[in-house]
Structure 1
Amino acid sequence: MSTSSAPARIANLWDDAKAAGMTEAERLVYRSNLLGSDKRVTNYGGGNTSSKILETDPLTGEKVEVLWVKGSGGDVSTIKLDGFSTLYMDKLRALKSLYRGVEFEDEMVGYLPHTTFNLNPRAASIDTPLHAYVPKPFVDHMHPDAIIAIAAAKDSRALTHEIFGDSIGWLPWKRPGYELGLWLEKFCLENPDAKGVILESHGLFTWGDTPRQCYETTIATINTAMDWLETKTARSPAFGGEKVKSLPADQRRAIAARLMPTIRGMISADSHKVGHFDDSDAVLQFVNSSDLEPLAALGTSCPDHFLRTKIRPLVIAFDPANPDIDAVIDNLASQIQDYRAGYAAYYERCKHDNSPAMRDPNAVVYLMPGVGMFTFAKDKATARISAEFYVNAINVMRGASSVSTYQGLSEQEAFDIEYWLLEEAKLQRMPKPKSLAGQVALVTGGAGGIGKATAVRLLREGACVVLADIDTGGLKAARDELIAAFSPDVVRTVEMNVTGEAAVIDGFAAGVVEFGGIDILVSNAGLASSAPIEQTTLELWNRNMDILSTGYFLVSREAFRLFRAQNIGGNVVFIASKNGLAASPNASAYCTAKAAEIHLARCLALEGAGEQIRVNVVNPDAVLRGSKIWTGEWKEQRAAAYKMDTDELEEHYRQRSMLKRSVFPEDIAEAVYFLASDMSAKSTGNIINVDAGNAQSFTR
């Protein structure tokens, strides 16, 4: 199903030597991680695995049969032992006597906690009965693209029999739940020689008498489907053939940098969204095709795909042969409004008396011919995963439409999954968003002590961060440290010389393509110099002005342009200095440039207020630890100015302060967070001194 050469088949990674020394529960983890290691087997968070294991009952000391099954919200690629629910099989079987029929199947979820073995706190998923009632000890349920391509075809039952004969069965579409569990049990009892079953529009169930047999059946079944599809799909062009040509890669990214903030602004009125851009070969083949619009309108088939990507994507009207981006932007508002109206109409057509209130009516997936795909969600990981799911859906549509007619879920079935009361209850259990969730910060001087501490503080509150710095090595070290502490999704870096106009423009564009926009600018790039006025060279003077004045102007100008394109406000925080308010000996260039920063911030606060763009200043003083400017000549120069040794400086500054306390990068970061967050929503044009007290720098 590749867009070019045939992909390699899924490898059998089972290693008896590794598995031999494991407990049965550990082999379940091992099997799950192997299956999850290849996204062609299942997507993020999708599918589940189980083993029925004899365990010692902690109450009776007797051996009992226990179902170990992936718990709610887990991911098989990374799951550990604590990610599995454990339930008594005898109690699960006893639930059948309480079942009142398909109209009441949702109430069975409430009984599952009563079957818990050994007080396991991991909540059981809705798929638990599907595993419990398959009369085999080891069961895999996966969502492979190759299988779903067959499951989503109009004649999927006939295709399943053509490919697999009687070894793999077929069941018609049924929403996951208790009833489907009983269907699977009935199928297994009536087809004892079958190794698995394809569920229409859903995925694959396979089983075995040993963990290895179960795993190998899963892999073999998927590879058989891939082989069959390859022979069929090679005969005709995918998606009706190419309608338009892709633009060059650099032009695609430039368009993404212009459009993503506009889209983001239009859909972030209630809560900020984070974006993701994908122009992979699979995406481009789809968005450039003749069948783009009719196939996109059908939506996805697999419930996991649908929950991540909504009822359907929005196709942006665009002709790559006439790339008029201004016209696209002018048309976007009406396209997005039409999508919202269509979503509201869908909700009204399909809602039930007890349906939850309509959720966000904006699209998640935006498809643009010649350019690629944008996805927007509450955070970067969700936006990225939504894109991955839609790529899965593209693969499914390619396969199904090449061998048959692709069919998505019916509108009512799709609604009943999206607004399922059990799904709503799951959403209500989600933790409250952090204070900066959905927001993106760009921090200049990001490799230094204050820059990195600021990034940590903002990341802790849920923001995504772009670190910008001229120091390549320091930038990489900071990136690695922050990714290890947080995640690869939320940290990006860009080399940026803030004194170069083109470098600043390109740096902002790079950050925008990664996250969809920027909400917070922390202007922190800096240097320090010390020299008596008669020894201050023009080169030294200009260097201070270039970095500390012109550099702050250039990044602020780019931020303002972006904030106005998004039209959802914004925050600028300057890291200035006590020296911007209080004169200091032998530092005229530095002090003057810092004073210019402070006055620039005041001017910008006036310009941005009408559009909820706030501009404020943090004035540090004597931040020695972790600060890059104190690792060079500045430390020696300041010690010389005060006629003392360098190792006496920290104590000197501490004693000079009114509070007799040292100031650290984390203290500056705390002030930045306050000014960037809604805690200071009614403050602009202000200065916070973080200097342990210095009467000379009092602002009034």
Structure 2
Amino acid sequence: MTSPAATPPAAAALIARSNRLGADPKNTNYAGGNTSAKGTATDPVTGEDVELMWVKGSGGDLGTLTEQGLAVLRLDRMRALVNVYPGIDHEDEMVAALDYTLHGKGGAAPSIDTAMHGLVNAAHVDHLHPDSGIAIATAADGEELTTKIFGDKVVWVPWRRPGFQLGLDIAAIKEANPQAVGCILGGHGITAWGDTSEETEANSLWIINTAADYIEANGKADPFGPALDGYGALPAAERRAKAAALAPTIRGLASTDKPLVGSFTDADVVLDFLASAEHPRLGALGTSCPDHFLRTKVKPLILDLPASASVEESINRLHELHAEYRADYQAYYDAHATADSPALRGADPAIVLIPGVGMFSFGGNKQTARVAGEFYINAINVMRGAESLSTYSPISDAEKFRIEYWALEEAKLQRLPKPKSHASRVAFVTGAASGIGKAIATRLAAEGACVVIADLDLEKAQAAAAELGNTDVAIGVQVNVTDEAQIAAGLEAAVLAFGGVDIVVNNAGLSLSKPLLDTTEADWDLQHNVMAKGSFLVSKAAARILIDQKLGGDVIYISSKNSVFAGPNNIAYSATKADQAHQVRLLAVELGEHGVKVNGINPDGVVRGSGIFASGWGANRAKTYGIDEDNLGEFYAQRTILKREVLPENVANAVAVLTGPDLSHTTGLHIPVDAGVAAAFLR
């Protein structure tokens, strides 16, 4: 590939056009659609000009497309594939044949739509998934509507699975209709073309906007039917509280086959859809655009109770509906699978709709879960447009199956990188804006977990979360662990952000280093309230979520060497750490029947990066030992067996191991992370 400075003009124009189109969700969904440009470049072997095509590669996103995301093909060789095309029964073989048309290293992997771009005789081509265009594409009389709305400038193409034959079909349609600027692909989306990048972009936007304007001007006022009594949106605070109460159960059901991360939205478009009389019928029809149902599955699970239904009633009914959903999905698979179909990938819903409350969506990570929800909102918009003008008529289940269990789709899934050790897990870490807690949060995020940074200081919590990535990776919440209401609010934020909680790390702490006679009742109460009581309150609140999910989980206590070692001038801190250490044993026994492991870590001498040491504890300990505070870390290191200073990252490593797959059968354990202190050996 050439450097960005040497990007060929056609490719540069393509990238700029793609970024503009992809930046506006009305034009296409995330990672949906593809664009291309044809032009010339110098062949480095012959020194002569060669005609090339640049096309968005498989899996890329138009809004963030760069040159590295383009596949680059020799146009003459790509078009020569027509001569060896074995027919529609063998068109999948043409995907592998594309490897022989690549220019140089070829860039990104070509997508299944590459033939559409290469065979159409136009310098620039856009294939997009706009809600307005798909609304026409999924209307029962979509072909007639296409003519009525666009005249002869846009041509109807009956549904055909993406591939080489569809490219041939569109190429023939363009050739037969020189006045046309694009087409509506039945059940799917739109394609537009032009002689220049600017003309193609204008044609794409004209199709999208013309369709949207026609729907707006001619559509029914109530495309989803009249309001259903009792199905309207609950007040904001009430619906979010109900969503938080339902979330662990829903996530557990959606994770029956494999653990998934969740996302929640109570957007008006979802609430309005669920408040209307036609939503059960339309939901059962499922989505149509391949990009939609590959993310959302063929249809959602919809709770068939009014908004006023209690949490208990809703949970009971969700269990019944989930069993029915799984049986229905199995029947769908059995009805359409052939001897060479990939194995069933899981029968749980990816979208769960709760009237009056909102939508839960699920995926292997938060981004995938969030995008699945966004795609279902696209589907709602499509249904609204189609029902406004006609009747929503998506492609058949048989055709959906041919996409969902397509060998090419299976191959794409098999190429995905192996998930990290903590992928699909959600961690709630207290005192995580600095020191040991921040190191733990950082390590768990690096291992693929979604992380909730819970800290007394909201601004610092949010800043620490931002360092880990966007809100698909981490969020920051304010939690005073001595306050049950703040703990509940923090955990509510966690389940609404990520669907639930799998790992709870009781790390929040402080210390006052004083001898017995100088330790006040207030000193004692403060340390016990934050660490002993705080850990108890957090564990109690989180346990309800862990039990409701039925996914097991981990509770980790960051205790201390002092929980077993009688250090000098340290009565209150050491006593509360001993309390925490015994909570580990007690909860390991009590929560084990729910598959929840409870373990502890006993660090010592963690000076660098420690909030406790920075708050005055370090100065007090240095005074106790008669050394300079700057030398405290080295002092602690020299008194250990290994003569190594203990860092926050060392504690984080232990958390990662305890909560990872390798210690799945370990509970009630305390791991020393102290570089070896013989007096604190557990026995």
Equivalent residue, structure 2, for 1:440 = 426
Instruction: Give the letter aligned to residue 297 of structure 1.
Output: A
Q: 1:240 pairs with 214, 222, 225, which one?
A: 225
User: 1:317: how far off?
Assistant: 2.2
Q: Quick one: which amino acid aligns to residue 506 of structure 2?
A: S
Output aligned runs, 1:264-303, within 5 Å: 264-303=251-290
Quote the residue 1:4 is aligned against. Answer: none
Provide the secondary structure at the position in 1 that maps to 2:598. Answer: strand
Aligned to 1:310: 297
Partner of 1:366: 352
**Residue number among 567, 577, 584 corresponding to 1:601 in the alignment:** 584
Within the candidate set 55, 62, 65, 1:69 is matched to 55
Check the 8 A contact 1:246/1:370 in 2, yes or no: yes
Q: For residue 451 of structure 2, what is the aligned residue in structure 1?
A: 465
SS at match of 1:77: helix
The aligned length equals 677
* Contact 2:462/2:475 (<8 A) preserved: no
1:76-95 aligned within 5 A: 76-95=62-81
Q: CA deviation at 1:21?
A: 10
Distance 1:25 1:209 in 2: 14
Contact kept, 8 Å, 2:251 with 2:499, in 1: the verdict is: yes
State the secondary structure of the residue aligned to 2:568.
Answer: coil
Aligned to 2:337: 351
Distance across 1 between alignment mates of 2:356 and 2:197? 46
Query: Which residue of the other structure, out of 523, 531, 550, is the alignment partner of 1:540?
Result: 523
Shift, 1:510, TM fit: 1.5
Match of 2:500 among 492, 517, 521: 517
| Distance (whole Å) between structure 2 residues aligned to residue 410 and residue 24 of structure 1 | 39
2:598 aligned residue? 615
Which residue is 1:141 aligned to? Answer: 127
State the shift of 1:501 in Å: 1.4
1:1-26 CA distances to partner (integer Å, 9 max, x unpaired)? xxxxxxxxxxxxxxxxxx99982211
Q: Equivalent residues in 2 for 1:314-393 (5 A)?
A: 314-320=301-307, 322-393=308-379
8 Å contact from structure 1 (residues 271, 438) kept in 2: no
Q: Does the CA-based 8 Å contact 2:444-2:656 persist in structure 1?
A: yes
User: Which runs of 5 or more residues in structure 2 are unaligned?
Assistant: none
Q: Is the 8 A contact 2:481 2:538 kept in 1?
A: yes
CA contact (8 A) 1:497 1:504 kept: yes
How far apart in 2 are the matches of 1:22 and 1:621? 59
On the 8 A contact 1:400/1:406 being kept in 2, the answer is yes
- 1:653 Cα shift? 1.0
How far 1:631 moved relative to its partner? 1.2
Report Cα offsets for 1:38-78 as digits up to 9, x if no partner.
Answer: 01100011000000010111222211110100111111111
CA drift at 1:611: 2.0
Which one-letter code corresponds to 2:279 in the other structure? L
Q: Determine the C-alpha separation between the residues in 2 that align with 1:204 and 1:166.
A: 15
Aligned counterparts of 2:550 and 2:535: Cα–Cα separation in 1:
22
Deviation at 1:473, TM superposition (A): 2.7
* Partner SS for 1:631: helix
Larger CA deviation: 287-296 vs 265-274: 265-274
Per-residue CA deviation, residues 117-174 of structure 1 (Å, 9 max, x unaligned), is 0122421111000000110101111111011111110111111111111111111111
CA RMSD of aligned residues (A): 1.4
Inter-partner Cα distance in structure 1 for 2:449 and 2:336: 36
1: CA distance, partners of 2:569 / 2:188: 73
In the other structure, the counterpart of 1:679 is 662
Kept after mapping to 1: 8 A contact 2:504/2:556: yes
Equivalent position amino acid for 2:601 in 1: V
2:254 and 2:128 map into 1 onto residues whose CA distance is 33
Give the structure 1 partner of residue 212 of structure 2: 226
Counterpart amino acid of 1:676?
T
Instruction: For 2:277, give the aligned amino acid.
Output: S
User: 1:406-421 maps to which residues of 2 (within 5 A)?
Assistant: 406-421=392-407
Deviates more, 1:414-423 or 1:115-124: 115-124
Q: Tell me if structure 1 keeps the 8 A contact 2:463–2:476.
A: no
Aligned residue number for residue 86 of structure 2: 100
User: What are the ranges of 5 or more consecutive residues in structure 1 without an aligned counterpart?
Assistant: 1-18
Work out which of the residue numbers 246, 254, 259 in structure 1 matches 2:246: 259
Residue 642 in structure 1 maps to residue 625 in structure 2: yes
Indicate if the aligned counterparts of 1:567 and 1:611 stay in contact, CA closer than 8 A: yes
Aligned match for 1:666, one of 624, 645, 649: 649
Q: Does 1:527 align with 2:514?
A: no
Question: For 1:93 and 1:279, how far apart are their aligned partners in 2?
Answer: 48
1:425 to 411, 414, 418: 411
Distance in 2, Cα, partners of 1:501 & 1:35: 47
2:584 maps to 1:579: no
Equivalent residue letter for 2:114: T
Contact 2:458 2:476 in 1 (8 A): no
Write the letter of the residue equivalent to 1:293: P
- What per-residue deviation string (whole Å, max 9, x for no partner) do you get for residues 519-569 of structure 1? 110110010111121111111110001001000100111122111111121
Which letter does structure 2 place at the counterpart of 1:503?
A: Q
Find the aligned partners of 1:206 and 1:338 in 2 and give their Cα distance: 42
Q: Quote the Cα distance in structure 1 between the aligned partners of 2:458 and 2:333.
A: 51
Q: Does 1:60 align with 2:57?
A: no
Q: Give the drift of 1:294.
A: 0.3
Answer yes or no: is the 8 Å Cα contact 1:264–1:274 preserved in 2.
yes
Matching residue's letter, 1:663? V
- Whole-Å separation in 1 of the counterparts to 2:439 and 2:223: 50
1:476, distance to aligned residue in structure 2 (A): 2.3
Per the TM alignment, residue 190 of structure 1 is displaced from its structure 2 partner at its CA by 0.6
Q: In structure 2, the residue corresponding to 1:616 is in which secondary structure?
A: strand
1:269, distance to aligned residue in structure 2 (A): 3.6
| Offset, 1:212 | 1.0
Is the alpha carbon distance of 1:123 and 1:480 closer, same or farther for their aligned partners in structure 2, counting shifts above 3 Å? same
1:507 is matched with which residue: 487, 490, 508? Answer: 490
In structure 2, how many angstroms separate the alpha carbons of the residues matched to 1:689 and 1:596? 16
Structure 1 counterpart of 2:564, one-letter code: L
Q: Is the 8 A contact 2:263 2:361 kept in 1?
A: yes
Q: Is the 8 A contact 1:364 1:376 kept in 2?
A: yes
